[in-house]
Structure 1
Amino acid sequence: MNTLTYFPEPYPDEDFRSLVYRYHIRTPNNSLADSIYELFEKKTKKLPLFPNKLKTLLSKLPDNKMGNLEKLISDTTWIRLIQIFMSKDQRIEFTNFIMNGSENPFQAYSKVPGDFFAESVRYCPFCLKDDYEGYGECYVHKKHQIKFMDFCHKHFSKLIDKCPNCDEKLTAEYPSKLLRVPFCKNGHDLTKKLPKDMTPKETEFKYTLFNLLCQMSDNWKTIDRDFMKLKILMVLWKENYIHYKGRVLKKELVDSLLANYDSSLLKEVSIDVRHISHNSFISRILVHKYNKNILFYLLLIHDLFNTYEKFISFEFPIANLIPFGEGPWECINKNCDEYTKKVICKNKRLPKISGGSVITAEFSCPYCGYIYVKRWNVNNGLNEKPMIKTLGHKMIKQILEKYLEGKSALQISTEVNCSEFGVRQNLNRIIGSSNVLKKEDRESVRQIIAAYLETSVSDEFQIKKEKYRLNILEYIKDNKNVSRVEIYKENQESYGWLKRYDKEWLETILPQPLSLKRPSKDLTTYDYALSIKINKISKKLYNEYPYQIKKHTILKKLSSTERSRVSKNQLPLSESTLESQIEPLQNYLIRRLPMAIKNLYKANYKNITLESIKKFNKLYRFCDLETEQTIKTILNNRSFTE
């Protein structure tokens, strides 16, 4: 491997393609392909937007000649910006592609947004003049190659890729030849001032988004996709775009976003309103493919935070309020000895009866039996009076005693601090009438009330509970190390009643049950090993299997025992790995593209386009907008023209 004696230092904001081209023109090589092979050992005449096989270049440079590799990548490419929007696995895979290259570059380039970068190299006329005067030659500026930013961020002049006088292209395709002097092929001066046909509103909008983009790229070490998602979720929570159950209100978010920006402005920055309004796109927000939708997330961050500084510093806790507070809660029965005291330690959550945003709970006083119901709204909190469910045994006893004294329902309600309706309801339930008691009926009513009080469910239940609890506790105290079976045999009545009506308490005092089951096999190690196997199978299928990889495709490669355990939900890691390896149709279309191109070559197609692929292979008619753009980019890099 030959060591290079020379490699140019990058100029300010120089594109990596320009750096390689400047190396080429200073060598005796006849073609750019020779220089590319000399640097990267690749047989190609193209200068790709993102370099690869940098490890080969580094190995050929003298010690310390390259300087800081990270600085070179961040200064001359947009790689670090793209990686901010990638998942951890995607970043690792893309970094490996940049450093070592890949046998399948289509897969690597599929992670780059197809409509984000300009299709041809662009120049600013004023920068051409400054560079030629300052450095003696012109070069490509990295910041001029963002598609939506069609003017220079320094001079605010329109960027050009053709001569304004003769319409001659300024650079060759892919780009095999770049400008060295500020003149077109026909000798026209490119540095003359061009008309500024931009509206102030469009210019300001593009410039703001571009500044945000540059700030994120400059701070790539402190930002990643998880950090970005957390900040977005924080502000969405604060602005009530997240339901209290955790669901992000994505459609409402997109509707609000579109209401804040004119459709003409969004079109200027290559954001398709119909595309981001579609349900298929909305469902994927904050889930995956961040790297394919950089412009959308830039717009979202700008809309939510306004500035990069606020985006970085924004903090807001994502947490629900506790419905009804932490407790204990007070008794609201004015006739209870514990009135207004916080003696209710538990509340009972009731089934949803009032819609998704309202929670209903029941509160029962252990002293008077009074039960009331409260409703809590996630938006308004507690804004309703409690609803009374049961007056409690003490108040009912007072009502019955006063009724025997001959008092009316209205008088009783006043004396016991209860509604007249509540008094009448309980009198009708127990006695059968709520009218004023007549003298001739007093004795018969007295007997009814006496029978009710003697057989009061509340009192009888409490007496039984205390009695049976005591029986069990005394037996356990007198017989240490006793088993559950022995406790049951000696206290069948007490045990059976408590098992039915007071199971929670009974479980707290009983010894641990003896397990009769055979110890289950620890499947954790097995699960981990099978997940690795599934990964290996998937990678092999990806490289060899000509059809779309579906769930059953992978399962067929497993043994019957492995398939059975996966289907029985015994192996969570293997299940999640299996689901992650299922190939979406759009990914399959990208993977299948080299074979589609090969088949078209065999069919004597000379210039292969997306339309010709769709005619030849009907499956490609199901491409979404992102996949179509990616395919066009790949075809463009392969020297095909639309």
Structure 2
Amino acid sequence: MLFFPTAYPDELLFSLCSRYFIRSGNISYKGTLDDLFSHSGLTTSISLPTGVSSLIKNLPPYSKINERQIIHNHTLYLFYTAFLPPDRAVRVYDAMCSNDGKGVYNQSGLVANRVPQNEYLRFCRDCLTEDKEKYGEYYWHRSHQLSGIQCCLTHFKPLYNSSVRVVGANKHRLQIPTLESCSAVKSALDETSDKTQREYIDFCEKMAGSVLQLLNQQFSHREMEDFHQIYQSRLIGLGLAYYSGRVKQKAWREYFSSIYSQELLQLCHSELSGHQDWLSLIVQKNRKSFHPMRHLLVMAALDMNITSFFDENNTPKPFGNPSWPCLNKVCNYYRKPIINNVSVSLTDVAKEPVGTFTCTVCGFSYTRRGPDKGEEDRLRKTRVKVYGDVWTKKLKDLSNTGIGLRELGRQMGADPKTVKRYLENEIEARSTNSLISLEADRKKWLSLQKKFPNKSVKQLRKEDKALYMRLYRNDREWMIENSSKGKHRKSSARIDWSKRDEKMLMEISNVVEGLLDSEKKPVRLTVSKVGQLIGKKSFLEKNLNKMPKTMAYLMRKVETVEQFQARRIFNTIKQLKEQEEELVPWKIMRKAGIKDYGKWVEFVEHHIN
């Protein structure tokens, strides 16, 4: 294309393409689609259009517009995918970039949530007047086409249906707004009462900021389970759910209905229909996605801020966020944040949360009944489940110094009765178990020598390492007196490391070159991987420093993760060129298995241009 219209604020991609159609002088919709997308059969969708990558490819050479700018700024992608998990949002984005838009509405959840699309493109009279004065022409606004939004979010006046159909129209048509197509006299609110109109306009004034944020700002996509937890926490705080997570559905429905009238909910396409409708399901744990309008209604009812709602640190937890302190008084990390995980259960009667915290350094494990109400609660414990090896060893050491139980308890951070019980159990267990296990180990050692009469102590150790270590630590004198000397091995011939280096280099270079030239799925080159492929992984890792030529070769060939990703990209570009396929960044990265699109897109664009 020799030109493409400059986009106006909040303008739909459909509107941009329609303005191109008028200015190009084309008389055929399909001819224009061929100019724009190299595909005359493409459907001109309003909300989630496809073929964006083809459009970018056909723009004038001086154009700096990319897929992301088009999809984020001139479609409803950000609004309709805000509450989708990351993988589904990516699939919708990829479908919009491609010419094959099959499934894009299913992936976005717009089909399943049963919120109807607007039948006609909509307009605001005040916006039309302002657009004509400022830009000299009319255009279609994105914010006027959102399902459930019946008034302009700038002027807070009712929206009107134009004569340009969205549903049931020619799927290849391109139409700009005109005075003739925008001459409707009845608005979407005209059939409602004055009271409902005022209520709805007030609602839109409160919600406008949140709606426009979703439409214009990209938030981090979160898993659906996160939304459930955020709603659950807020409902618990309002007394509308139990700590177990079970929602008091009757109370929640009464609370929600006290905020919104049924007439207002009908205008939002979110009316309530009774048990197990969308209002019940949206606050339960499930895998179903819900229309953004319904999330906004719930968030407003619960007085929740949209920015903090999408904050990754906002997932509610009864004991706050990691890390938690170890409360073992004799641990080196006492009262320091060392515990990164908590296991949460519920009390049987009150259904209150109980957290179990375990220090991975000392093994000390304690519980606390929650939820925490302040930072000081993080240093509180309800009971100790396990004292751990560090605590037990310290208790043994201190008990040998002769100090009393009360002082022992103070230094160990435990009740004197607990200290006494542990000491008594330890003495009893030590005396009983040591005698039994010691006699059994002696018999095993003698039996092992009978089984292997010609082996030395070192060789016998390899046969049963655990047995050897127990005797070495607890009964060393007996083991030395009751062990045969075994036969001495003759020293092996000295290894010629120079020859071994040459041989290993030849063997490794054949494997490495074979991997690099292979048409199979690429494998990252590491010392471990090469050693594994030649069946000498352990030998290579232990003796690489003795083979300088082999080491130098491997150091040139081994790859970092980034180098391996770059090689996959080069291989993919080469394959696509050989297959004479279109070189599009998103397609290359998907085929190469690269997930971090933002990190690599400039690298890919540089190498395909």
* Length-normalised TM-score, structure 2: 0.49
Rg bigger for which structure?
1
* Length-normalised TM-score, structure 1: 0.46
Larger RCO: 1 or 2 (CA < 8 Å, sep 6+): 1
